[in-house]
């Protein structure tokens, strides 16, 4: 005879957890605010410890842009909207650029949210100089290749061809 299972017992109903009291909710909110405040304070202290290093990196990048600006008038003209607002004051150790909205940026005024924005702006300017250098190198290599092809073609010419082209004797091989 097959074994008959016992009648299933009803599952007990889950009793909801008691809702926190107003005092408990306030204590939890206060603890959350205190944790956020402590975290913000820790971030501020970390930034203050890093501020001189971050400023040195930003200012050295700004000085590099200022030095390159003097030598690359074509780049400056092409991106005048950016360079019109860029200046470096090495005596005060400050600089302005399009990201500062015309205001001076200094180590004392540096804010944690400014670092990435200023870095990106200065990197953009440095990228323009790098692009210009790469383009000039490409043009130089093209000119060399063109001259090599021209020289190879001249070597293939016979003296009669050179006379027909009225090439001066100095350009003949």
Whether 32 is in a domain gets the answer: yes
Domain that residue 46 falls in: 22-144
Whether 10 is in a domain gets the answer: no
Whether 126 is in a domain gets the answer: yes
pLDDT in tens, the chain (173 residues): 556 565 667 777 787 878 888 888 888 888 888 888 888 888 888 888 999 999 999 999 999 999 999 999 999 999 999 998 899 998 999 998 877 666 788 888 888 888 888 999 999 999 999 999 999 999 999 999 999 998 888 888 877 877 787 777 665 55
Whether 3 is in a domain gets the answer: no
CA 52 to chain centre: 20
CA distance 154 to 157: 5
Whether 157 is in a domain gets the answer: no
Whether 115 is in a domain gets the answer: yes
Whether 114 is in a domain gets the answer: yes
Query: What pLDDT sits at residue 146?
Result: 94
Whether 12 is in a domain gets the answer: no
Contacts of 74 (CB under 8 A, 6+ apart): 132
- Give me the number of domains the chain comprises: 1
């Amino acid at each position: 005879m097959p074994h008959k299972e016992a009648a299933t017992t009803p599952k007990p109903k889950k009793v909801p957890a008691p809702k926190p009291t107003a005092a408990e909710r306030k204590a939890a909110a206060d603890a959350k605010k205190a944790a956020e405040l402590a975290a913000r304070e820790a971030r501020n202290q970390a930034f203050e410890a890093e501020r001189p290093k971050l400023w040195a990196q930003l200012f050295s990048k700004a000085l590099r842009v200022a030095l390159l600006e003097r030598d690359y008038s074509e780049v400056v003209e092409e991106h005048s909207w950016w360079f019109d607002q860029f200046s470096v004051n090495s005596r005060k150790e400050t600089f302005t650029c399009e990201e500062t909205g015309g205001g001076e940026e200094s180590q004392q005024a540096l804010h944690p949210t400014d670092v990435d924005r200023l870095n990106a702006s200065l990197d953009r300017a440095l990228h323009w100089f790098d692009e210009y250098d790469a383009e000039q190198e490409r043009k130089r290599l093209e000119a060399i290749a063109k001259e090599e092809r021209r020289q190879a073609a001249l070597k293939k010419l016979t003296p009669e061809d050179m006379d027909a082209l009225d090439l001066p004797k100095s350009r003949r091989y």
